[in-house]
Structure 1
């Protein structure tokens, strides 16, 4: 946890590097027209359980709108290698279809230490999928998903360098000279803990004016089990926001825990024309900096995490609409 106090500054530098003009895949995915649009009769904005056949041979690519393409659900990907993202019917090193959280498949993200390259730090630091930006600002959203952190040297044992597992990222006003910014919110894996950080800026142009909104301890990063999360956010940098986070471990006897429920004086988000997109997977955001300093970028040859049951609900949704379904510990 000693690096947390320097998180804002360090992450600012690394994310500015990752969003540079030479490596602007984040920009491309946010600039595409595949934004998250609502159906007036639906409580859902987005859902993926990776059950379609398209995911069985997933590769690094942008949305092109084809019939077997990420465009039907995800707006873009940033994959370190061609095998960095794949839908599988097992987790960890086992071959057990019952190990998926919901349905027959989950999404496996893999990042290899030796596959990092300094000439492509943006992609080589990540195994990531991205939704599109929201179509407007000050939205209320429910996010539900489950993650699985395997044990072992090729899993998610505590590393000395933290990593992002989920991030909410906006797009700056380039024409007005606004620089690239850190995520407005993120779930970090720090040692053996999970932490939710969030930031805000009520100024129309963020330029050294981003402020920390808060930090929520999400508990231990338990290995070899599914961890469910439900997160409600009303995006508002002007302290009209809402933040609610619930967690449920998929072990016998566990129940939902409310980790935070704030409905007043919540600053979260930037003063943009649209609210942020969501990215999930692995992002070793300090890799380029450590490489330049001649330091090892990970204790382990591989990092791996699984996601399943990913849903986004709109302002009409409730917690039960986005919570992962079915388990050994019934919802």
Structure 2
């Protein structure tokens, strides 16, 4: 029953997303469904992919990784290169099928590149644990950002421009639903039970025959692949990316959304993303009403939220809990 309920909710979400996309494209109810709100929902969808994938590492595996924005950068620049320098423009291909193929190839390439980099980084980082792992992954993020700044063929510090807009809100919604479905099934599978056992007691898991480093690297690779997916969507939605889009500020945003929603909870990932994204937009509008230059001061709220969560509610809004439709049924 739990599995059927999950897929019913996913189908309803996709149907609503498609109707929203068609309504805005067709000019129906422009005041209620204008492009601004659709863009906000699109950002929420991409952030859900990012936060849910990081939850796999920080929540279910129990490690503290700080390099997720780096994997997002790898995916974003890979998708941008494929869309602009390798693949033909979607407009030159057959309608419907052509743009779909371009999107699939760019996102697949973004996931593959990020997964490869994640696997290589995982080989090195999982020789350490705890604070050392956090430092190494943060260093990796800084290396990626600084390397991109010195590569002229991707725009360097000026940024990568001219990226075609191959994504839509509905495409992002489909990717977000698929991400949640895949991660949910992984977490409830034997792989997920292995990751949770490592989180609870790595020594006991190893004594029971678990290849701890191999299992950790598998989780790291999967999380990196979905971060690359979010990056590929981001690049083709924004049509302009810079190395600064993936620096420590982005890492802080992802962590705030993760810990606000709660660790080891896909429901928490969704709730944290929605709450944080809406809050930031409300603050932007409120501060801009007084003075436009105050809008960026809302970013001071991010670290403050993180501090308050750690002091008052360390497990977040939904830590270690799931909504009923995300929990496995007896048959699952």
User: Do these two structures clear the TM 0.5 threshold for a shared fold by scoring above it?
Assistant: no
Q: TM bucket by the smaller chain?
A: under 0.3
Which one has a bigger Cα radius of gyration? Answer: 2
Which has more strand, going by share of residues? 1
- RCO greater where, 1 or 2, for CA within 8 Å and sep 6 or more? 2
For normalisation by structure 2, the TM-score amounts to 0.26
For normalisation by structure 1, the TM-score amounts to 0.26
